[in-house]
Structures are given as C-alpha cells and as structure tokens.
Amino acid sequence: MDFKNHIAFRADDSLELVEYLEANGIGYNKGEIISALDILESDPHWENILKIIGDDKHYITETVFSKEEMRSAEWLTVRSVWRYDYPQPENKYRKITYNGQMCPECWGGLAQIDSFRFKRAPKWGKRFFLTTNWEDDILFVSDHAKAMIESANISGVTFREVKNKNGTEIFPDIHQLEVHNILPEGLAWEYSCVDEILVCDKCGRSKFASNGRGQFVFRKNTFDNAPDIVLSSEIFGRAHYNQRLLIVSQKIYQTITKNKMDRSLEFQPIKLI
C-alpha cells in the first residue's frame, strides 16, 4: 500500500517548487495556468516537496495498492476512470431515469425506473467499461465485456439497454451493468478511510466521506451468501453526491484482469474483520 498525492499549483506562484522539480528531473504536467504533480509518498523526494508546499497547500490523496494486495482480497471496490458524457437530458434526467423521490437537501433516495440516455454511443477502442458523470456507482459495458461476464457465469447482475437523448432509439454496443443486490450494513467506519459522517438535516440520511487514505473495512459476515457483484448499503459522498460502493468478488477481478479488460477500471481491495 502506498499513497499518491495530486498537487495542483500555479508555476508563477510556486517558484521554489518548480525550481526543485526541475533541478531534480521530476516530471510534472505543465499547464498554461495550473500545473500538476502526481507523486507517491514512497518517493525519496516526497518529504522535501511536502516541506516546500507547506501545510497551507491543498492536495488530493489516493491509496495505491499492489497487485499482490489485489489478488489476495476476497472482495474489491471497482470504479471506471473513464467518464463518458452526462446523463441526458441534463436538466431533467433524474425525473426520467429515477422515481423522483429525491431529498431536496442531499439529493438522496432515488431509485432507477428507466434506462439511461446519452447524446451518442461511445467509441470503445481498447476500453470495455465506462461510467458517466454524476453516477460513480454505475458501470456501462461494451458488447465484448457483456459477453465475457455472461460466459463467466457472474452472479448478481443483468443488463439494461441504453437509449439516445430522446429515448426513441436503443444504442448498440453499450449496456448498463445492472446490480440487483444491496448488502446489509457492515462498514466498520472507525477503521476505514472515513474522516466524516454527514447527516442530512432534511431527511436524516447518513453518508460517509472518505479521505482517500487507506481502505474500506467491512465486517466479514456482511458478505455471507452475497453474489459476485453487490452494492454497499452505506452511501458515500459530500454535498449532493450520493454513491454506493460497487463491490465485486475476487472471481470477477480475476476474470477481468486475465482477459486484459481492466484498462479503464480501478480496483481497491476491501479489508474484512
């Protein structure tokens, strides 16, 4: 396990940092206005860079796991790093796609009743999985990925069609991976990468905010008799973001990676206690 920090900065306002990076041959993304550096905390330069940016500089941390840690986990979270389009029509997709029972304060409580809609079908290239903006806990798959999942006898999932913006046409070669099972509550939040529990003043729903350091910890019996793909009972996010964890078994992880179809996916192992 390691930690990767994403640091965004203005080069003209961070001369000491730029000088250090260039003097030590450390590559970074040079933007016209905002530049960015991604660096692991195991990097020998990290401590010096931390001293330069100081505590008043903000950076985003994510946990990086080894292949061995991935392969030894019974269960893993999964998400797509390829974000495609926005659900359509953007100004009223929640009223069309969901049941409309949304809390006006936290936007929680929605249940899907219709297919997602996009402006156009994606061009997959060498990728097989995607998500769409605003919907981190939903995956969409290509025909090839759908066939792979079906042939591997993966349990707990079916597929839903995806439509065009007007809902008059079904797009080919894209399917929503529809997960049917929600786990019972089982997050051991006090041991997890959770730094805040937020309670909505309007509806009373609780959700967990992750700090990106470490991993999610669940009680082992939470997964008793669970199918290969499930959603967490717990909700995660801040402000108007309300996402469940999409969780898959080691069987799915092995199936996807052995078929070299994980190009756009990010897995994180879950710890069981």
Q: How does pLDDT run across 39-74, given as a tens digit for each residue?
A: 999 999 999 999 999 866 678 889 999 999 999 999
Domain that holds residue 148: 67-273
- 213's torsion region: left (phi>0), alpha (psi -120 to 50) or beta? beta
Q: Please, what sign has the CA dihedral across residues 226, 228, 231, 234? A: positive
Quick one: pLDDT at residue 228?
98
Instruction: Give the list of residues 6+ apart from residue 82 with CB closer than 8 angstroms, or none.
Output: 127, 129, 130, 131, 264
User: How many domains does the chain contain in total?
Assistant: 2
What are 27-39's pLDDT values in tens digits? 999 998 999 999 9
Average pLDDT for 90-111: 85
CATH assignment at residue 19: 3.30.70.120
Residues 73 and 156 in one domain: yes
Quick one: pLDDT at residue 202?
86
Residues 60 and 82 in one domain: no
Residues 177 and 235 in one domain: yes
Quick one: pLDDT at residue 99?
86
Residues 77 and 125 in one domain: yes
Instruction: Give the list of residues 6+ apart from residue 8 with CB closer than 8 angstroms, or none.
Output: 34, 35, 36, 59
The values of phi and psi at residue 154, to 5°, are -75, 130
Average pLDDT for 137-154: 96
Instruction: Give the list of residues 6+ apart from residue 222 with CB closer than 8 angstroms, or none.
Output: 183, 184, 185, 186
Which of 18, 47, 64 represents a domain boundary (last residue)?
64
Which of 30, 48, 64 represents a domain boundary (last residue)?
64
- 191's torsion region: left (phi>0), alpha (psi -120 to 50) or beta? alpha
Given a contact cutoff of 8 angstroms between Cβ atoms, the answer to whether 59 and 5 are in contact is yes
What are 3-15's pLDDT values in tens digits? 999 999 999 989 9
Instruction: Give the list of residues 6+ apart from residue 29 with CB closer than 8 angstroms, or none.
Output: 35, 36, 37
Q: What is the pTM of this model?
A: 0.88
More confident residue, 58 or 197: 197
Question: 165 pLDDT band (50/70/90 cuts)?
Answer: very high
Residues 59 and 71 in one domain: no
Q: Is the pLDDT of residue 235 over 80?
A: yes
What are 202-233's pLDDT values in tens digits? 888 899 999 888 999 999 999 999 999 999 99
Average pLDDT for 132-159: 96
Quick one: pLDDT at residue 56?
61
Instruction: Give the list of residues 6+ apart from residue 165 with CB closer than 8 angstroms, or none.
Output: 88, 89, 117, 118, 119
Residues 188 and 235 in one domain: yes
Q: Which residue, 25, 30, 229, is CA-closest to 139?
A: 229
Extract the tokens encoding 103. Answer: 């809390």
Residues 101 and 15 in one domain: no
Given a contact cutoff of 8 angstroms between Cβ atoms, the answer to whether 197 and 205 are in contact is no
Mean pLDDT of the chain: 93
Which of 22, 41, 64 represents a domain boundary (last residue)?
64
